[in-house]
Amino acid sequence: MSRDQGPRVGVLALQGDFREHGVTLKAIGAQPIFVRTPVELDLVEALIIPGGESTTIGKLATRFGLIDPLIERIEAGMPTWGTCAGMILLAKEVVGPEQPLLRCLDIVVERNAFGRQNDSFETDLDIEGLDEPFRAVFIRAPWVVKVGDGVEVLATVDGHPVMVEDRHLMATSFHPELTGDSRLHQRLVDLVE
């Protein structure tokens, strides 16, 4: 793949809404690569860990030998963004049952904090650094209960952090890929040097 076609942005494609991220990435000129193996991970310059079922994604990442390669690439500075379940996987700690975690982002997350599927909602969210509100879709969404040193809170709902950033890492409780608004995808692409 030629680099002149835009940055190669991986989307972890084990389970969840990875295809929607791919569509948005292509629309902004990036090259989406669906990542299911360590070899595919080696091809990318940035990564999105999508929403879905965090326990299932974690177990499949373990089964496919991706946990250690993901941690190595993220800790080496690869721009990475976790959305919903992806936020959970990036977290140092999760409130609730044990599950595989990457533990790369110094946050504590509570799963399904906003409630079950029928408690899903949309809201216009003020995000630091964006001029206009972002229409955010929350589906069985987590929230951040604790942030570590260096982690910046960029958006909250009812006082609960729902978007955080730490250098090359971003995490959102919501699903930007479902809105048609590509500003956060562009923010990740802009982190690729």
Q: Are 16 and 51 in contact (CB under 8 A)?
A: yes
Average pLDDT (154-160) is: 95
User: What digits encode the pLDDT tens for the residues 101-131?
Assistant: 999 999 999 988 877 777 789 999 999 999 9
**What's the pLDDT at 2?**
47
* Rounded Cα–Cα distance for residues 169 and 164 (Å): 8
DSSP-derived letter for residue 126 is -
- Residue 118: the pLDDT is 74
Element (H, E) at 145: strand 143-147
In the prediction, which pLDDT does 62 show? 94
The two tokens of residue 1 are 């793949």
CATH code of the domain containing 125: 3.40.50.880
Q: What is the rounded CA–CA span in Å between residue 117 and residue 60?
A: 23
Tokens coding 39: 């070899």
> Average per-residue pLDDT in the chain?
93
Enzyme catalytic residues: 84, 175, 177
- Tell me how many degrees the CA angle 49-139-17 measures, rounded to the nearest 5: 40
The pLDDT value recorded for residue 176 is 94
CB within 8 Å of 64: residues ≥ 6 apart:
14, 36, 37
- Residue 89's pLDDT is 96
User: What is the CA 164 to chain-centroid distance, rounded?
Assistant: 10
The model's pLDDT over 20-72, given as tens digits with 9 standing for 90+, comes to: 999 999 999 999 999 999 999 999 999 999 998 899 999 999 999 999 999 99
d(CA 63, CA 191) in angstroms, rounded, equals 29
10 Å Cβ neighbour count for 7? 20
Q: What is the extent of the structural domain holding 16?
A: 3-190
Number of domains in the chain: 1
